[in-house]
Amino acid sequence: MNNLHNINIERSVLSSILFNPATFEDVAANLSAKDFYLPSHRYIYEAMEACEREDLPIDEEFIKKKLNQQGRFDEDAMLEILSTNPLPATKAYVEEIKEKAIKRELVQLTSDIKEIAVEKDLPSSDVVDLVQQKLYQITQENSSREFRESPEMTHATIAHIHEMKKRGNSGVVGVDTGFAEINKLTTGFGEGDLIIVAARPAMGKCLAKGTKVLMFDGTLRNVEDIAVGELLMGDDSTPRKVLSLAHGTEKMYWVRQNKGIDYRVNESHILSLKRSRNEGKHRHGDVVNISVRDYLRKSKKFKNNHKGYKVPVKFMEKSVEIEPYFLGLWLGDGRKSDVRIATQDREIVAYLHAYATRLGLGVSRSDENEKCPMYAIVNTDNTKKESLQALLRQEGLIDHKHIPQDYLINSTQKRLELLAGLIDSDGHYDAQCNGYEITQKDEHLARQIKFLADTLGFRTSLKAKEAKIKSRDFTCKVYRVRIFGNVDSIPVKVKRKVAQPWSVKRSWNQTGIRVEYDQVDEYFGFEIDGNSLFLLEDMTVTHNTAFCLNLAQNALNEGRGVAIFSLEMPAEQLMLRMLSAKTSIPLQKLKVGDMNDEQWGHLTRAADEMSKRKFFVDDNGSVDIHQVRAKLRKLKSQHPEISLAIIDYLQLMTSGGNRDRHLEVSDISRGLKLLARELSIPIIALSQLNRGLEARSDKRPMLSDLRESGAIEQDADMILFVYRDDVYKIREEKEKEQKARTEGKEYKSNFFEKPEEDAEVIVGKNRNGPVGVANLVFQKACTRFVDRKMGIPIEVVQYNASINPPEAKIDLPPL
C-alpha cells in the first residue's frame, strides 16, 4: 500500500504551512482534508482551514486549541510534523498527495464494484450505471483546474474562427465602468466594493446531454448540437430563434412524466405547466412557468394541480407523389419488396380501386393458398404511365420500410391520413380504452409512428415486448405504439376501427409529473426568443452576461487585469463575445468565420491585443465560496494588477455546506464582500431576479425583486439593474399575434425589432453616492452596450442617507 500514500510528504506539506502560513493558499487551491491519508493529518488540515476561515493565525497553538475542543489532538503527530523540515516549494508534493488520494479512491471503487456486482447481485446495467456515477464523482471532486490564460483562450478562439471559415466562409475614482453616465452616478467601482448586476433570467432552458429537441424543420436534434441562430419549434408551431448557448455543471433532476417521456434538466430549468382545475381566480389550462428549484419547494396540492402538457404541431403543407393514406396501408400490410398489399377489408379494397382510378391505373388481385388476398395497383393497359411501385422505389421505400421526411413533416390533414392508413392496415382499436395500438417488428418505423402521433397532439407510448407464436415455437421482439386522445379525428375507413369521441373529463394532453434528484452533471441549454417555450421530441412543452463582459472589456482597455469565474459559459464563448464587442463584427459572423478582408484585419488586431491583456477565466462550472476565495487570493498574489473580478452568476455558487438555500446565499454574498475588501478590488456578481416582476405593468426591477435572499441587498455596496423595454414589447406582440391566430384572425404588428435598442442601467443602491438611471444603447448583433449621445441629463432620484466609510465595522447578518 506504500504506493497509495506517503506519510513523509504529508508531514512535509503540513510543516511548510506551519512554518510559512502564506503557503496555505497555494495548498488550499488544490487539496482538501480528505486527501490526507492519516486521520491525524486530516484533522490538523481541517483545523488549518478553520483558522483561515476565521482569520486566525495558522500556528501550533490555535490548531492545538481547536483540536482539543474536538478531542482530536494527537501530540505525537504534531511533534513529528514540527520536527520535519519545511519545503522551499510545495507544488510537486501537493500534486503527489492529490495523486495518491485519487488512487485510494479508485481502489475503494474496485471494492464497491465487487460488492454491487457480486454480493448485491444487481443487473449488469445497474452496475455499469453506479460505477459510472461513482467514477464521475471522483473526477469532479478531485478537479483542480486552474485559470486559463488569455493567450490560450485567444488562440483557441481564433483557431475556431479559422476552422469555421474553411467550412463556409475623470470624475472616476474607482475602476472606470467605461460608461459616462454610470461613471457620473457611481464615480466608478470602488476598491473593496461588492457590486450586484441583476436582470431577469434570460428564460434559458438547460437539459441533460442527449435530450432531443424538435427543430422548426421537424427534425430532432440533441440539445448539445444546437447552435446559435437555429430555429426550434415553438409551442404555437412558430419558430423560436436560439439567441445564445449555455453549458455548465449543476444539480440535475429527472422529470418523470406519467404519460410522456422522462427527461433530465438542471436545477435552474424552467418547467412549463398547465393548471388542471378551476379554483378561485385560477382557471383550468392556465400556464405557469416555474424553475425546478422553486417547483420542489411548492406544496403537494400545487404539484397535483399543475401538469406537464404537450401540444400538436402544425407544419407547412408539401405536395407528395403518393397519397398518404395509401403509404400508411403499404407500410402496415404491404410487401416490402413490391407494391402489393394484403387485406380482407372491403373498405380498403374500395379505396384501392378509387385511388387506382385517380391515377389512371388498375388493381390486380392474387390469392395464395389459405392466405390473405394480395392487391396491387398496377398499369393494366401497357401504357408508359409511371407505376406506383416505381414511386415507392424513388422514395427509397422498396426493401426499406420507413416514413419519408416529407410525409412525416407535412400538413395536419396529410399526417392524419397517413396515420389512418397505418391503423386501418396494421392497427387495433381498443373500444374499452377508446385508443389504438400498432405493433411493429421494426423499431425505427415504430418510433416514426410514435413521432407522427406525437406531432398530432395525441397521448402516445412505445414499449418493447416479446411476442410468441406457440404453434410455431417462434419468438421475437416487437414494439407496441399506443395512441389515445381525440382519436376520433383520425379519418380511418374500416368501420370496425372508427373511434368514439373523447368523453373523459381529464385532458389527454396533460400528465402528472414527478421531479427526482439525480446527480451533479453537465447540462446544455440556450436562450430563445418569443415566449421561450419549445418542444421536446414527444411535443412536451419546456421553457445578462453581455453587460458584465462590457465592463470587463472596458477595464482591460484601461490596462487593468480582470478575472472571471464563469459558472455557465465556456471561456471560448466569453472570448467570442468580447471580440465581437471590440471589433463591432456581429457575433454570428464571428462564430462561422463569415467575414470580409477588412473584418479579418480588425479581428487579427483585436485578438493580438487581447492576448496581451491580463485576462483570466475559470470556467470550471462548479465552485463554492471557499474555492473562489483560495483561487482569487492566489491569482491576485501572482498578478497584482488584477483590479476587477466577476462571478457569473451568484445563484450557481454553493457555500460548501448543506444548509438552507437562503442561508447559503447569505454566506456567499458575505464571503464575496469580505474577499473584495481583503483584496482591495471590486467584485461584480451577476444575480437573477424573481419572476414576480412579470406580473407588474411596469417591469423595471426593484430591490425587492432580488432573488433568493435579502442578504444580497444588505451586503452589496452597489446594485445595478439592466432593463430593456423592447424585450417586453416583442413578447407582447408575439402574444397578440398568437391570440389572433387562435381566434382565426389576422394581426399586423406595427412594431419592428431594431438592431439597436434603448437600455437602462438602474442604480438601485449606491452606498457612497446617488441612485438613478443611466441611459445606454444595446447593439444586439455585437451584444454590446454603448453610451447614448452625450448631453442627455442623468436622472438622479435620491441620495442614500447612510454611507458606510471603508473602515466601517461589518457585522454578520442575523441567522
Place of cell 471532486: 141
Q: What are phi and psi of 746, to 5 degrees?
A: -100, 145
The confidence band for 804, taking pLDDT boundaries of 50, 70 and 90, is very low
Instruction: Find the Cα–Cα–Cα–Cα dihedral 342, 345, 347, 352, rounded to 10°.
Output: 20
Q: Is the pLDDT of residue 625 over 70?
A: yes
> What average pLDDT does this structure show over 726-730?
73
> What average pLDDT does this structure show over 747-768?
79
Which amino acid makes up residue 161? Answer: I
Cα 654 to Cα 708: distance, rounded to the nearest angstrom:
13
Inter-residue contact 671 to 625 (CB < 8 Å): yes
> What average pLDDT does this structure show over 437-451?
90
Q: Is the pLDDT of residue 415 over 90?
A: yes
The confidence band for 123, taking pLDDT boundaries of 50, 70 and 90, is low
568 is catalytic: yes
Q: Which of 57-61, 88-92, 168-172 has the lowest mean pLDDT?
A: 168-172
> What average pLDDT does this structure show over 715-736?
79
Q: Is the pLDDT of residue 533 over 70?
A: no
Enumerate the H helices of 54-177 as residue ranges.
60-70, 75-82, 91-114, 124-141, 150-168
Q: Is the pLDDT of residue 203 over 70?
A: no
Q: What are phi and psi of 451, to 5 degrees?
A: -60, -45
Enumerate the H helices of 594-681 as residue ranges.
597-611, 625-638, 661-679
Note the pLDDT of residue 687. 82
What's the sign of the alpha-carbon dihedral 353, 355, 357, 359? Answer: negative
Note the pLDDT of residue 686. 86
Place of cell 490555535: 62
The confidence band for 358, taking pLDDT boundaries of 50, 70 and 90, is very high
Neighbours of 772 (CB within 10 A): 21
Inter-residue contact 749 to 225 (CB < 8 Å): no
> What average pLDDT does this structure show over 575-596?
83
Cα 601 to Cα 492: distance, rounded to the nearest angstrom:
64
C-alpha cell at 392: 415507392
Cα 209 to Cα 232: distance, rounded to the nearest angstrom:
17
Q: What are phi and psi of 420, to 5 degrees?
A: -60, -40
Cα 209 to Cα 213: distance, rounded to the nearest angstrom:
11
- In the chain, the domains with their CATH numbers are 2-141 (1.10.860.10), 157-161+167-199+544-722 (3.40.50.300), 205-311+510-542 (2.170.16.10), 324-497 (3.10.28.10)
Cα 436 to Cα 429: distance, rounded to the nearest angstrom:
5
Q: Is the pLDDT of residue 540 over 50?
A: no
C-alpha cell at 190: 470602488
Q: What percent of the chain has pLDDT over 90?
A: 18
Inter-residue contact 50 to 44 (CB < 8 Å): no
C-alpha cell at 465: 415486448
What lies within 8 Å, CB to CB, of 123 at 6+ separation is: none
The confidence band for 542, taking pLDDT boundaries of 50, 70 and 90, is very low
The confidence band for 247, taking pLDDT boundaries of 50, 70 and 90, is low
Q: Compute CA distances 517 → 107, 213, 293, whole Å.
A: 27, 22, 11
pTM passes above 0.75: no
Instruction: Please provide the average confidence, as pLDDT, over all residues in the chain.
Output: 80
Inter-residue contact 60 to 78 (CB < 8 Å): yes
Judging by DSSP bridges, how do beta strands 683-688 and 194-199 pair with one another? parallel
Place of cell 395525441: 458
DSSP element (H, E) containing 515:
strand 513-528
Q: What are phi and psi of 486, to 5 degrees?
A: -80, 60
Place of cell 444548509: 659
The confidence band for 51, taking pLDDT boundaries of 50, 70 and 90, is confident
Note the pLDDT of residue 163. 64
Note the pLDDT of residue 276. 79
Q: Is the pLDDT of residue 801 over 70?
A: no
> What average pLDDT does this structure show over 776-800?
61
Which range, 121-125, 517-521, 773-777, has the best average confidence (pLDDT)?
A: 773-777
- Residue closest to 37 by CA, chosen among 116, 79, 99, 112: 99
The confidence band for 341, taking pLDDT boundaries of 50, 70 and 90, is very high
Q: Coil, helix or strand for 536?
A: strand
pLDDT digit string, tens, across residues 62-92:
999 999 998 999 999 999 999 888 888 888 8
Cα 712 to Cα 706: distance, rounded to the nearest angstrom:
8
**Crossing angle for the helix pair 324-333 and 346-359, nearest 10 degrees?**
130
> What average pLDDT does this structure show over 225-248?
77
Q: Is the pLDDT of residue 204 over 60?
A: no
C-alpha cell at 267: 436545477
Judging by DSSP bridges, how do beta strands 513-528 and 534-535 pair with one another? unpaired
Which range, 130-139, 316-325, 471-480, 535-544, has the best average confidence (pLDDT)?
A: 316-325
Q: Coil, helix or strand for 687?
A: strand
Strand partners, 366: 374
Q: Which of 395, 568, 664, 708 is catalytic?
A: 568
**543 or 379: which leads in pLDDT:** 379
Note the pLDDT of residue 402. 92
Inter-residue contact 51 to 61 (CB < 8 Å): no
Q: Is the pLDDT of residue 127 over 90?
A: no
Cα 459 to Cα 522: distance, rounded to the nearest angstrom:
30
**381 or 326: which leads in pLDDT:** 326
Cα 619 to Cα 726: distance, rounded to the nearest angstrom:
31
Place of cell 503527530: 77
Q: Coil, helix or strand for 739?
A: helix
Note the pLDDT of residue 379. 84
C-alpha cell at 737: 399575434
> What average pLDDT does this structure show over 797-813?
33
Instruction: Find the Cα–Cα–Cα–Cα dihedral 572, 576, 582, 583, rounded to 10°.
Output: 140
Q: What percent of the chain has pLDDT over 70?
A: 81
> What average pLDDT does this structure show over 441-461?
88
Cα 48 to Cα 482: distance, rounded to the nearest angstrom:
62
Enumerate the H helices of 222-345 as residue ranges.
292-296, 300-305, 324-333
Specify the DSSP class assigned to residue 118: I
Note the pLDDT of residue 644. 93
